[in-house]
């Protein structure tokens, strides 16, 4: 990128969605660039800059040490859009008050537009927006007006039309905001950059940069068979000589049914011979007594690299001659706390300490590291990859290991929780899962719902969101679909990662996959993790279905499967004597992450 290239700067305050903002701006036809808070002032003076976006962030603006940009950026004459934390910082610097909200907002809310001007030009009077905040404005800065509000947030959107400074408490860059693209397109137009860039430009530049930087190097690529690593490998194969690129698929023992064979066959059709390393025994041995999700991910990530080194030795290749190739995309980095002010949500297997040390030493090649899933799929299409491969549901590198919850404890029972609705009983479950709330990590309990009345799934999802917003100890809500012993409260059981448990999960995962395909649901769902959870009514465990709709993995909404499909799939799963309960995850992201661990 040249300093004179017309572009919008996105100032990264450590928010989960900072790069997603940049991605959306690019997708809408304008070049964007991420800059750290500390570099924002100098970067804003470069000749190509046409506007500024302040991202969200996990800090509170009134806390000591919270990241801040110089106030003179707001008098530079550039259009400025503040999002979430960015809105609060702009307001604080221009004389308004920010305080802790009485009611937090995580997930969907209804925005009422008060003034269809500026970035709201052409907007509908009301629409759904996506919130993730615990702070809010208590007043407006001088000269600003309220442009929109929600039930719990009177200053959900503000603006100073003459100065072209706007602020949104919600996230326009995520799929959950219905008119988010319109708001961003209007801001891009204010910056004078409408339809000035396209993804083909990114692909051409990336291939050129890879050739310039790595043409004389050799890359040993770790491949999972998922969309990211496949597209990354195809991109590298376009840029590098064939003899300088090798691919390795590691059988960890945590792959789906027939996954190894299917991946090898898919790559063979692309003209690529893939080496397979069978290492299940090693992975199970390293994880035998591990229950903590972070420790699981770290061990798996390290073991990937250990297997890679052993395979290089078997092939009589010098480890030092080969760079590590990975299909890392931006959510992996941001959720691992990989930017200056971001919080760690969970350590991805491709961001463990050994990998970060290799990155610092310049020994890692990650051609997709700045992209989101939807952009990766765009690149795959431009590279000519088949659509059925590009549109596969995402599958995590650690595989079923992080969908098989473990526990060293035993016997703790679910506890009753006030539901507030007639015909609905709720219970706090004695397990925890990872969530993301206000750009920070949560590790909290799910609520279990049992219904005796008639409820629409959409109403239960709204109720679930309210439970999570009102209680910081809760970050997920589950609906009971089937149980082996009706009315018996589930209790925690002692359980670790074993081949037997993984096989139970693998069978269930296959049943779900085939059901979604047979009933025309697969293409409607972005991802459907199937989670084995050590909660028992007798001798079995709980199985959790987590179907979601998303675009980029940074936000997600629960898929509203109709009642007949829910009952049918639960009946199929309950034929396995190892399953006591089938539960349905009603939670969006936020407050829950897509994966449970």
Distance between CA atoms of 330 and 462, rounded to whole angstroms? 29
1 assigned to some structural domain: no
pLDDT over threshold 70, residue 492:
yes
Phi, psi of 456 (to 5 degrees): -75, 140
| Alpha-carbon Rg for the chain in angstroms | 24
435 assigned to some structural domain: yes
Which percentage of the chain shows pLDDT scores above 70?
A: 94
| pLDDT tens profile 1-35 | 566 789 999 999 987 778 789 888 988 999 898 89
Catalytic one among 19, 105, 160, 173?
Answer: 173
CB 589 within 8 A of CB 556: yes
- Look at residue 342 in the predicted model and tell me its pLDDT: 43
What's the whole-model pTM score? 0.71
Q: In this structure, are 365 and 231 located in the same domain?
A: yes
Phi, psi of 435 (to 5 degrees): -140, 175
Catalytic one among 19, 84, 153, 461?
Answer: 84
pLDDT over threshold 50, residue 337:
no
Q: In this structure, are 174 and 258 located in the same domain?
A: no
Q: In this structure, are 455 and 482 located in the same domain?
A: yes
Max distance between CA atoms of the chain, in angstroms, equals 70
Catalytic one among 133, 160, 171, 343?
Answer: 171
- Look at residue 335 in the predicted model and tell me its pLDDT: 46
Q: In this structure, are 167 and 213 located in the same domain?
A: no
Distance between CA atoms of 325 and 246, rounded to whole angstroms? 9
322 assigned to some structural domain: yes
Which helix (H) or strand (E) segment is 134 a member of? strand 126-137
Max mean pLDDT range (12-16, 84-88, 390-394): 84-88
- Look at residue 107 in the predicted model and tell me its pLDDT: 78
- For 140-144, 155-159, 469-473, 490-494, which range has the lowest pLDDT when averaged over its residues? 469-473
Range of the domain at 579: 404-585
| Total domain count, the chain | 3
- Look at residue 338 in the predicted model and tell me its pLDDT: 46
Q: Kindly write down the DSSP assignment for every residue of 68-131, as one continuous string.
A: ---GGGGGSSS-EEEETHHHHHHHHHTT--EEEEEEEEEEEEEEEES---GGGTT--SEEEEEE
Q: Is 84 a catalytic residue?
A: yes
Distance between CA atoms of 224 and 215, rounded to whole angstroms? 24
Q: In this structure, are 157 and 247 located in the same domain?
A: no
Number of other CB atoms surrounding residue 262 within 10 Å: 14
- Look at residue 42 in the predicted model and tell me its pLDDT: 93
Show the beta-strand stretches assigned E in 151-305: 153-160, 165-168, 218-223, 245-251, 275-278
Angle of the 199-214 helix axis to the 373-382 helix axis, nearest 10: 80
- Look at residue 375 in the predicted model and tell me its pLDDT: 84
Q: Which residues contact 278 (CB under 8 A, 6 or more apart)?
A: 251
- Look at residue 8 in the predicted model and tell me its pLDDT: 96
3-state secondary structure of 570: helix
594 assigned to some structural domain: no
Q: In this structure, are 137 and 206 located in the same domain?
A: no
Phi, psi of 533 (to 5 degrees): -125, 135
pLDDT over threshold 70, residue 353:
no
2 assigned to some structural domain: no
Q: Which of 363, 295, 362, 266 is nearest to 323 (CA)?
A: 363
pLDDT over threshold 90, residue 535:
yes
Buried b (16+ CB within 10 A) or exposed e, 166-200: bbbbbbbbbbbbbbbbbbbbbbbebbebeeebebe
C-alpha distances (whole Å) from 367 to each of 22, 175, 203, 389 are 17, 25, 10, 19
Q: Domain boundary at 158, 190, 222, which?
A: 190
Measured torsion, CA atoms of residues 506, 508, 513, 518, in degrees rounded to the nearest 10: 140
481 assigned to some structural domain: yes
- Look at residue 1 in the predicted model and tell me its pLDDT: 54
Number of other CB atoms surrounding residue 75 within 10 Å: 11
Q: In this structure, are 70 and 149 located in the same domain?
A: yes
């Amino acid at each position: 990128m040249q300093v004179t290239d017309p572009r919008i700067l996105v100032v990264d305050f450590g928010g989960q969605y900072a790069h997603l903002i940049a991605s959306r701006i690019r997708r809408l036809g304008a070049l964007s660039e991420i800059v750290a808070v500390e570099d924002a002032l100098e970067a804003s003076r470069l000749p190509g800059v046409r506007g500024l976006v302040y991202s969200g962030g996990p800090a509170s603006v009134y806390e000591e040490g919270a990241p801040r940009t110089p106030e003179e950026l707001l008098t530079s004459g550039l259009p400025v859009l503040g999002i979430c934390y960015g809105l609060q910082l702009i307001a604080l610097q221009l004389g308004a008050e920010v305080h802790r909200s009485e009611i937090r907002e995580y997930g969907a809310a209804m925005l009422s537009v008060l003034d269809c001007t500026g970035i709201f030009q052409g907007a509908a009077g009301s629409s759904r927006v996506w919130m993730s905040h615990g702070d809010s404005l208590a007043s407006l800065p001088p000269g600003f007006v309220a442009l929109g509000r929600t039930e719990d947030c009177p200053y959900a959107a503000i603006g100073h039309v003459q100065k072209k400074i706007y602020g949104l408490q919600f996230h326009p860059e995520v799929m959950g905001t219905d008119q988010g693209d319109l708001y961003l397109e209007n801001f891009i137009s204010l910056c004078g950059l409408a339809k000035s860039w396209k993804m083909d430009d990114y692909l051409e530049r990336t291939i050129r940069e890879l050739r310039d930087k790595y043409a004389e190097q050799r890359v040993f690529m770790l491949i999972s068979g998922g969309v990211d690593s496949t597209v990354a490998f195809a991109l590298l194969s376009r840029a590098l000589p064939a003899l300088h690129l090798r691919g390795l698929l590691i059988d960890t023992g945590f792959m789906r049914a027939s996954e190894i064979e299917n991946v090898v066959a898919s790559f063979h059709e692309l003209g690529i011979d893939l080496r397979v390393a069978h290492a299940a025994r090693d992975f199970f041995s390293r994880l035998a007594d591990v229950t903590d999700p972070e420790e699981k991910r770290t061990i798996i990530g390290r073991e990937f690299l250990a297997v890679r080194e052993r395979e290089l030795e078997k092939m009589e290749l010098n480890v030092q001659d080969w760079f590590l190739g990975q299909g890392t995309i931006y959510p992996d980095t941001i959720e691992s706390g990989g930017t200056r002010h971001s919080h760690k949500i969970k350590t991805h297997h491709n961001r463990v300490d050994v990998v970060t040390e290799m990155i610092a030493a310049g020994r890692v090649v990650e051609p997709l590291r700045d992209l989101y899933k939807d952009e990766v799929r765009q690149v795959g299409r431009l590279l000519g990859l088949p659509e059925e491969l590009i549109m596969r549901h995402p599958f995590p590198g650690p595989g079923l290991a992080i969908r098989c919850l473990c526990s060293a404890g035993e016997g703790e029972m679910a506890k009753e929780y006030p539901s507030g609705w007639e015909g609905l009983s709720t219970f706090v479950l004695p397990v925890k899962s990872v969530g993301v709330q206000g750009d920070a990590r949560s590790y909290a309990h799910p609520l279990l719902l049992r219904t005796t009345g008639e409820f629409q799934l959409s109403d239960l999802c709204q109720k679930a969101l309210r439970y999570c917003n009102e209680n910081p100890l809760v970050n997920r809500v589950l609906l009971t679909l089937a149980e082996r012993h009706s009315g018996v409260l589930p209790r925690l059981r002692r359980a670790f990662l074993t081949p037997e448990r993984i096989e139970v999960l693998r069978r269930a995962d296959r049943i779900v996959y085939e059901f979604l395909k047979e009933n025309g649901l697969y293409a409607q769902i972005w991802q459907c993790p199937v989670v084995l959870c050590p909660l028992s009514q007798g001798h079995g465990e709980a199985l959790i279905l987590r179907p979601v709709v998303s675009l980029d993995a940074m936000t997600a909404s629960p898929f509203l499967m109709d009642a007949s499909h829910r009952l049918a799939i639960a009946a199929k799963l309950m034929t396995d004597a190892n399953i006591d309960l089938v539960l349905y995850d009603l939670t969006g992201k936020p407050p829950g992450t897509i994966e449970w661990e």
